[in-house]
C-alpha cells in the first residue's frame, strides 16, 4: 500500500524502522550494483532509508579524490566510467563509516580484503543486521575450505547470503537483460526477499534458492572449468569437445559441493543463473578462458600470460584449481575429480594439454 | 573373455547368435556414425556380424552411383567427404535390403521419410529386433505430439531407443572429443548396452539414461531456444542476456517434456550431453542461431533467409516453434511457455524482437 509519509528516514506506515543499506566495495561490479540498489531503494521509502553508503578505497584521480568525484559527478570514473550513479549513493572512504548502523550489508570486495575489513566492522553494524556476499572464490586454509559468506558470518556474527549469476558488470550497468541468483540461509527467506527488493529490476531478474554454499561455489569453481574450456579452444578441438568439458566440469562442481558442504542443492548448479548460465558466459567470454587458450597457442606459462594479458593480476581459475587440488589431495580424493585434476596438472605440473580428457 | 572362434558370422563362444546391424540413412551424421559403428563391430566378433549394411538413397555423382563409390572408395563423397569409412560398411540402395534380418537398426533419416521407410520394413527385420532413433524433431499431427522413436516403435513393433548429444557430425568423424546420450525404454538397459558397444569409443563417450522421450525432446526443442539465442546475438544484448535466455529455454524444455510425456527425467535436460551440452553447441554454432541473428540484423523474414542462407532448406527451430505453439494453444497453455511463445510470435506474427524477454 502507498505510504502516508514521504520521509524516507522516519518510521514508516508499516510501523517498522526503515533499513539502512551499505555497500562495502566499489569496483566495477560494486558500482554496477550500487546503481541498481540506489535506484531501487527510492521505490520503497517505507522499507529503506534513501541514502546508500558505499565504501570506496580512497585514491586520487588527476589530483581529485575518487569519493569526491563520485559524490559530485555521480560517476565512478575509474571502475565504471560512463555510467551515472543515482544521487542517493554516497561514497565514503571508510568501511566503518559506510557500515555504521547498517541493517543490510553488501560485500563486494576483492577476497583478500574480506577478513580485515570484516574485523574492522565488528560491533558497528545494526543489531540483527544481514549481509550478502558477492565475492567469488573460496578460502582454503589449514586443509579446510570455506566460502566467504561463512567468513563474513563468523566474524560479524550476522547471517550472510550470497549473490552470483551470469553477470558481466558492464552489461548489467547498461541495463541489458540479465538474471542473477541469491542463495539464502535455511529458513531465512525473509532476508532473501529484502535483498530481492534491493536488486530486482525488469532487466536484472533475481532468483532465490535456499543454498548459500551452492551459489558461492558456482562462482568459484566455474573458473576452473573455464580454464579447461579455454584449453579446448586453444587445441582447436571444436564445439563438441568444449560443450563436453563444460558439462563434465559442471557435474564435478556439483559433486564437489555436495561432498564437502552441507545443504547444497543440485539444482543450484544445473538450473540457476549462478550455475549453468554463469558457467556459459565464463567459458565463452572471460579472462580465464582467454588465458587458457593463449597457454596452448603460445606455449607460455600462466605467470607470463598473467603479466602480459592481465597486467600481473592473478587468474582466479588456476588459483582455485590449485586450492581445490590441495584440498582434495589432503583427503586422497584428487582422482575422483578428473577434470579439476587435469586442469591443475596442466597448469602447475607440466601435464600435457592433449591429455585433458583422457581420464574423464 | 577372448573368443575361441575368429569367425564373425558363426555362432559365438557365448552360444548366442551374433547380431546384425543396419544403418537406415547415410547423410552427414549417418556416415559419421557408420564409421564408428563399422570400426567398433570389429572389436566384438562374438557379439556382432562384421558387415554393417547402410541404406543409401541412390544418386549419381559424376555418372557414378553413390553406393558404388562408397563400396569401392569407402568414402561418402557427397555427405562426408574426406573421411574414410571402414571396409565392413556396405552401402545398399534399398532400405528393405539394408534392414533384412537386422537385429539392431539405426534410424538416421530426415524425419519426413521415417513413416514411409518404416512401413516398407515392417515384417522384414529380425524377431526381437531393437531400433535406435537419431532423428531430431517431433511430429505434431491432429493435435498430438510424438517423438520419432514412438513412430518407429509403433510401425515396426520393436522397441526403439534414442541417441542425441552435442554432436557436430564432422567433429565426430574427425575423432575430436565428444559425448553423446542414449535414452532407453524402461527396463531395457540391455538394449542400451548393446548400442553402447556399437557407438562408444575413447573420443565418442556414450552416456545412458532411461528416458527416450527426454533425449528426443532435447534434440527437438533446443532448436527453438537457439532461435531465441540468435535473436539476442542480433540485438547485441551481450553474454548475460544470451545465457539467461538459454537457461530459461532449458527450463521450458524440461517443463514441457515433463508436462506432456510420460517418464521424463529432469536430469536428461540438465545433466546429459543430449540436454545442456547440445543446447550450448546449438546456441553458439548452428544454423538456427545464425539465421535468427540475421533475422534481426537484416530485417528479412525467415523464408527469405532460408532461401539465401540455407538453399531453401527449412529451419528446424522455427518449424518446431510453430508446431509446439499450435500444440500448446490447442490446450490453452501457450502463456505458460513464454520463451517458446515469444519465438513463435516474433517468427510468425510480426512480434517485436525487443520484447523477447518482456514476459519471461
Active site residue B124: no
To which H or E segment does residue A60 belong?
strand A60-61
Same domain, B28 and B133: yes
The residue of B166, B176, B244 whose CB has the most chain A CBs within 10 angstroms, and thus the best one to mutate to test that interface, is: B244
Q: What is the pLDDT of residues B185-211, one digit of tens each?
A: 999 999 999 999 999 999 999 999 999
What is the distance in angstroms between the Cα of A353 and the nearest Cα belonging to chain B?
Answer: 13
Return the pLDDT at B127: 87
Q: Could you say which of B210, B237, B256 is where a domain stops?
A: B210
The answer to whether residue B16 is domain-embedded is yes
The total number of structural domains in chain A stands at: 2
Return the pLDDT at A16: 81
Return the pLDDT at A127: 87
Return the pLDDT at B13: 53
Inform me whether the C-beta atom of residue B250 falls under 8 Å from chain A C-beta atoms.
Answer: yes
Tell which residue, B143, B80, B155, B85, has the closest CA to residue B113.
B155
d(CA B198, CA B151): 23
Low-confidence residues of chain B: pLDDT under 50 = 1-12
Tell me how far apart the terminal alpha carbons of chain B are, to the nearest angstrom: 56
Q: Which residues of A touch B237 (CB under 8 A)?
A: 171, 176-177
The answer to whether residue A308 is domain-embedded is yes
The answer to whether residue A360 is domain-embedded is no
To which H or E segment does residue B41 belong?
helix B28-41
Identify the domain containing residue B152 by its residue range: 4-210
A284 closest CB neighbour out of B250, B278, B284: B284
| Cβ atoms within 10 Å, residue B201 | 14
Same domain, A201 and A226: no
Q: What cell was used for A337?
A: 575429480
Reported ipTM: 0.94
Opening angle at CA B343, ends B338 and B348, nearest 5? 125
Return the pLDDT at A188: 97
Residue of A nearest to B252 (CA): A271
- pLDDT at residue A326 greater than cutoff 80: yes
Return the pLDDT at B5: 39
For the segment A341-356, the average pLDDT, to the nearest whole number, is 97
Residue partners of B299: CB distance under 8 A and separation at least 6: none
Q: Could you say which of B145, B175, B210 is where a domain stops?
A: B210
- pLDDT at residue A5 greater than cutoff 70: no
The answer to whether residue A314 is domain-embedded is yes
d(CA A216, CA A162): 6
Assign A143 a pLDDT band (cuts: 50, 70, 90). confident
Inform me whether the C-beta atom of residue B238 falls under 8 Å from chain A C-beta atoms.
Answer: yes
Same domain, A166 and A236: no
Pairing of the two strands A130-133 and A160-164? parallel
**Considering chain A, what is the average pLDDT of its residues?**
94
The answer to whether residue B360 is domain-embedded is no
Same domain, A195 and A239: no
Same domain, A102 and A250: no
Return the pLDDT at B11: 43
Residue positions forming the annotated binding site of B for substrate:
136, 287-288
Return the pLDDT at B311: 85
A273 closest CB neighbour out of B203, B247, B285: B247
Same domain, B26 and B97: yes
A171 closest CB neighbour out of B165, B166, B239: B239
For the segment A33-56, the average pLDDT, to the nearest whole number, is 98
Same domain, A69 and A198: yes
A169 marked as part of a ligand binding site: yes
Assign A7 a pLDDT band (cuts: 50, 70, 90). very low
Same domain, B206 and B226: no
d(CA A279, CA A164): 11
Q: Could you say which of A210, A243, A266 is where a domain stops?
A: A210
Same domain, B142 and B20: yes
d(CA A281, CA A56): 28
- pLDDT at residue A70 greater than cutoff 50: yes
Return the pLDDT at B15: 65
DSSP A143-192: TEEEEHHHHHHHHH-S-EEEEE-S--HHHHHTT--EEEEEE--TT-HHHH
What is the distance in angstroms between the Cα of A240 and the nearest Cα belonging to chain B?
Answer: 5
Assign A10 a pLDDT band (cuts: 50, 70, 90). very low
* Residue B132 CA: distances (Å) to CA of B44, B55, B113, B199: 19, 15, 16, 12
Same domain, B266 and B307: yes
Q: Which of B222, B254, B265, B290 is catalytic?
A: B222
Assign A142 a pLDDT band (cuts: 50, 70, 90). confident
d(CA A260, CA A323): 14
The answer to whether residue A347 is domain-embedded is yes
Q: Which residues of A touch B277 (CB under 8 A)?
A: 243-244, 246-247
Tell which residue, B97, B119, B117, B123, has the closest CA to residue B22.
B97
Return the pLDDT at B14: 57
The answer to whether residue A168 is domain-embedded is yes
B 182-221 → A contacts, CB under 8 A: 202-203, 205
Could you identify the residue written with the cell 555418372? B63
Q: What are the backbone dihedrals phi and psi of residue B210, each rounded to the nearest 5 degrees, phi first? A: -80, 75
**DSSP type of residue B348:** H
d(CA A22, CA A27): 14
d(CA B130, CA B102): 9
User: Can you give the CATH number for the domain in which A279 is found?
Assistant: 1.10.1040.10
d(CA A79, CA A173): 12
Q: What is the pLDDT of residues A159-206, one digit of tens each?
A: 999 999 999 999 999 999 999 999 999 999 999 999 999 999 999 999
Inform me whether the C-beta atom of residue B229 falls under 8 Å from chain A C-beta atoms.
Answer: no
Residue A185 near residue A159, CB atoms below 8 Å: yes
d(CA B271, CA B183): 13
Same domain, A244 and A288: yes
Return the pLDDT at B312: 83
Same domain, A259 and A307: yes
Amino acid at each position: 500500500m502507498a505510504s502516508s509519509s514521504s520521509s524516507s528516514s522516519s518510521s514508516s506506515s508499516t510501523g517498522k524502522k526503515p533499513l539502512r543499506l551499505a555497500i562495502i566495495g566499489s569496483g566495477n561490479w560494486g558500482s554496477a550494483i550500487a546503481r541498481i540498489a540506489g535506484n531501487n531503494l527510492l521505490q520503497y521509502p517505507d522499507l529503506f532509508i534513501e541514502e546508500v553508503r558505499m565504501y570506496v578505497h580512497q585514491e586520487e584521480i588527476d589530483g581529485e579524490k575518487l569519493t569526491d568525484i563520485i559524490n559530485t559527478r555521480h560517476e565512478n570514473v575509474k571502475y565504471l566510467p560512463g555510467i551515472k550513479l543515482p544521487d542517493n549513493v554516497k561514497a565514503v572512504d571508510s568501511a566503518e563509516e559506510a557500515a555504521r548502523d547498517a541493517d543490510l550489508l553488501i560485500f563486494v570486495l576483492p577476497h583478500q580484503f574480506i577478513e580485515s575489513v570484516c574485523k574492522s566492522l565488528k560491533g558497528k553494524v545494526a543489531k540483527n543486521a544481514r549481509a550478502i556476499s558477492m565475492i567469488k572464490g573460496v578460502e582454503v586454509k589449514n586443509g579446510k575450505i570455506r566460502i566467504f559468506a561463512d567468513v563474513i558470518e563468523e566474524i560479524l556474527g550476522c547471517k550472510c547470503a550470497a549473490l552470483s549469476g551470469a553477470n558481466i558488470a558492464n552489461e548489467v550497468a547498461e541495463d541489458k537483460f540479465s538474471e542473477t541468483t541469491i542463495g539464502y540461509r535455511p529458513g531465512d527467506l525473509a532476508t532473501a526477499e529484502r535483498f530481492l527488493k534491493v536488486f530486482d529490476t525488469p532487466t536484472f531478474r533475481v532468483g532465490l534458492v535456499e543454498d548459500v554454499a551452492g551459489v558461492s561455489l558456482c562462482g568459484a569453481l566455474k573458473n576452473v572449468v573455464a580454464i579447461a574450456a579455454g584449453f579446448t579452444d586453444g587445441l582447436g578441438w571444436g564445439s563438441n569437445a568444449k560443450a563436453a568439458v563444460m558439462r563434465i566440469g559442471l557435474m564435478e562442481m556439483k559433486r564437489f559441493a555436495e561432498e564437502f558442504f552441507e545443504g547444497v542443492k543440485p539444482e543450484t548448479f544445473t538450473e540457476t543463473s549462478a550455475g549453468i548460465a554463469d558457467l556459459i558466459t565464463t567459458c565463452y567470454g572471460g579472462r580465464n578462458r582467454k588465458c587458457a587458450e593463449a597457454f596452448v597457442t603460445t606455449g607460455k606459462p600462466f605467470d607470463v600470460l598473467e603479466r602480459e594479458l592481465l597486467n600481473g593480476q592473478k587468474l582466479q581459475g588456476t588459483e582455485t584449481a590449485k586450492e581445490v587440488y590441495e584440498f582434495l589431495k589432503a583427503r586422497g580424493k584428487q582422482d575422483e575429480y578428473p577434470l579439476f585434476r587435469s586442469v591443475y596438472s596442466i597448469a602447475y605440473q607440466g601435464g600435457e594439454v592433449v591429455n585433458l580428457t583422457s581420464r574423464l
